[in-house]
Amino acid sequence: MLEAILRVNSLAKSYGIHDVFSDVSFFLYMGEKAALVGPNGVGKSTLLRILAGEETADAGTITWLREPLTCQYVPQMPKFDDAPLWDILTDEVQRLGVLAKGTPREAVSRFGFTEKEVYMPVSQLSGGQRTRLVLAKAWLCRPDLLLLDEPTNHLDIDGLRWLEEFILTYEGSVLIVSHDRAFLDNVVSRVLELSPRRITEYRGNYTAYREAKEKLFQSQMARYQAEQKQISKLEAAIEKQMRQFHRSHQAAGQHDFYRSKAKKLAKSAKAKMKRLEKMKQTGAAKPKAEQHISLQGFESTDSGWRLILAEDLGKAYDKVLFRKANFAVLRGDKVGLIGPNGAGKTTLLRMFLGEEQPTEGYLWISPSASIGYLSQEMEELTGSHTVLEEVLSCLPVQTWQEITRVRTLLAKMLFRQADLEKPISVLSVGEKKRVAVLKLLLSSCNLLLLDEPTDHLDLQSRERLEDALTDYAGTLVLVSHDRYLLRKVCNKILVLEDRRLVSYAAGLAEYEERTAKGKAETANTRGGDLTREERLLLETKLAQLSADLAMMSKDDPGYFELERTFLELARRLR
């Protein structure tokens, strides 16, 4: 039985007249990794900030059950001074004082920063590097509880794997808000679903949570249908008895026996009516099924068999992005394009559009390809249009039947009736993304290029988008780090890595299997690199270097040479 470290009881929060949530109660346990999920706007980030002490609740209590207990909060968009990475870590150690349990050098080693990155100002770091920096900063005091708000933002697939390993091996407790379902599947053992009126707990990872939700829905639906069957039988019995009563009453005349029989029938019918009324008042409400999107009748399939062909394709700027790439995209393919940040994924999409030219090789785009493009910036939306006007603008003819279908699809993409009249300019980034994707899916394009389509979408929106992309009969090339989406939608994967482009015809499963196999083979060949004695010797030397550096000033001759040796030894130990 895990030891509870935190108890939240009847927590409530509002901003003015807007109630965010109320009656929120749950426990957190020692060493557990838990997810906090719920639709956008339900208050997940607010709850994390309250737990971190950065906001106050309007009602309820938070009780730390273990003292002393340290807590660190990692926000979605951390703010840093534009100082070098090393200075930020050093300043944090000084701020922590006696609470610091790690040194900047240990953080640099553990979080995989290169010697060059250590002295780079934050403004020059990539999104993934900043994520590692804010985690390194939080790690310096080895908190008992880490609160992570969207930590997977800006991470490529390698970065996601690194983060998963970090969380799984972290000794403290971690509460995570994330929309990356594969990430949640791999790291959490409990899911807390936040709604405006409560928190509901589900054991297991994200997939187990979804299965439990579906099982609950089926159970509620079975109960509802059984009650409706009883109600129908009761209504039929009442109707039958009332018919018998009217016939008996008319035939009885002044005959007391038949008049008595008619009264009994009426009395029995009235009793059944009362029972029926009670069943309708106290019976189960019909559970609301999740809507699924069907795009049949909208998509265009008018294209040749082969839409894209690349032979020995290459692209370079001041550095080579990739060379000797050979692949084809066929009609009906749903291709996932993955790779590290900066590998050239968006550049390749722009080459398909004709906005970038190959440096070498041959790229053929079918003349029959009608291309629709979703950029990360969504510049194709018109800010003055309403939501409904913007989506309808992609249809060549707007009959009332098509307008009705578009309204239905917008509802399934989580737009309420009142949202349809909102101008595009006031929508959130996630709402704009849903509008832009739906426009493309309803257009006459037969080849869609989607650059990070799930960015800024909550879990529910991502699942609706998956339904739409799965149902789409056209051809897709999508850039994404969302492994759940890639597994469900894509039949083929193109990987840009190490200046090469490799095609995996069996999809993400084949890529992951080959990657895991390659790592295992590498581990087998390198497993003997360091013996136990060699590792012990290096750890001793590393500790001595750390002590020597602590006694030196950066102005001392030889400081940087000693530090370079320290970082090299740290990398060897990793």
Rounded mean pLDDT of 129-139? 89
CATH code (residue 79) = 3.40.50.300
Mind listing the pLDDT tens digit for each residue in 60-88?
999 998 877 899 999 887 888 888 899 99
Mind listing the pLDDT tens digit for each residue in 262-286?
677 777 777 878 877 877 777 767 7
Tell whether 227 and 268 lie within a shared domain: yes
Domain that holds residue 549: 532-573
- Residue 416 to residue 444: CA distance in whole angstroms: 26
3-state helix, strand, coil in the chain (%, to 5): 45, 20, 30
pLDDT at 316: 92
> Does residue 530 carry a pLDDT above 70?
no
Is the distance from CB of 188 to CB of 160 less than 8 angstroms? no
- Residue 386 to residue 390: CA distance in whole angstroms: 6
Q: Which of 161, 190, 212 represents a domain boundary (last residue)?
A: 212
Tell whether 550 and 452 lie within a shared domain: no
Number of domains in the chain: 4
Q: Which of 71, 90, 254, 263 is nearest to 175 (CA)?
A: 71
Rounded mean pLDDT of 113-125? 86
> Does residue 298 carry a pLDDT above 90?
no
Tell whether 202 and 323 lie within a shared domain: no
- Residue 152 to residue 180: CA distance in whole angstroms: 7
Sheet with 18-29: list strands edge to edge.
18-29, 4-15, 59-64
pLDDT at 432: 87
- List, in order, residues 6 or more apart from 482 with CB less than 8 Å away: 180, 181, 182, 454, 462
567 domain residue, yes or no: yes
* pLDDT: which is higher, 240 or 325: 325
**Which of 92-106, 390-404, 536-550 comes out lowest in average pLDDT?**
536-550
Q: Which of 168, 186, 212 represents a domain boundary (last residue)?
A: 212
Q: Which of 130, 72, 65 is nearest to 100 (CA)?
A: 72
Q: Work out the pLDDT band at 473, boundaries 50, 70, 90.
A: confident
Is the distance from CB of 212 to CB of 187 less than 8 angstroms? no
* Beta strand ranges found along 420-512 (DSSP E): 447-451, 475-479, 492-497, 500-504
Lookup: tokens for 8: 């939240």
Taking the C-alpha atoms of 133, 136, 138 and 143 in order, what is their torsion angle to the nearest 10 degrees? 160
Rounded mean pLDDT of 228-255? 74
Q: Which of 468, 484, 512 represents a domain boundary (last residue)?
A: 512
519 domain residue, yes or no: no
Task: Write the DSSP string, 554-569.
Answer: TTSTTHHHHHHHHHHH
* Average model confidence (pLDDT) across the chain: 84
What percent of the chain is modeled with pLDDT above 90? 36
297 domain residue, yes or no: no
Task: Give how far Cα 510 sits from Cα of 159, 321, 569, Å.
Answer: 20, 24, 35
Lookup: tokens for 140: 């310096």
pLDDT at 80: 81
Give the DSSP H or E segment for 538: helix 532-550
- List, in order, residues 6 or more apart from 553 with CB less than 8 Å away: 559
495 domain residue, yes or no: yes
pLDDT at 76: 82
- Highest-confidence range of 188-192, 294-298, 472-476, by mean pLDDT? 188-192
pLDDT at 526: 47
- Residue 123 to residue 119: CA distance in whole angstroms: 12
Tell whether 180 and 238 lie within a shared domain: no
> Does residue 312 carry a pLDDT above 60?
yes
Output the CA angle 303-306-309, nearest 5 degrees.
135
Tell whether 104 and 157 lie within a shared domain: yes
500 domain residue, yes or no: yes
pLDDT at 83: 87
Beta bridge partners of 337: 479, 494
- Residue 216 to residue 210: CA distance in whole angstroms: 10
Q: Work out the pLDDT band at 527, boundaries 50, 70, 90.
A: very low
> Does residue 544 carry a pLDDT above 80?
no
301 domain residue, yes or no: no
pTM of the entire predicted model: 0.71
pLDDT at 222: 85
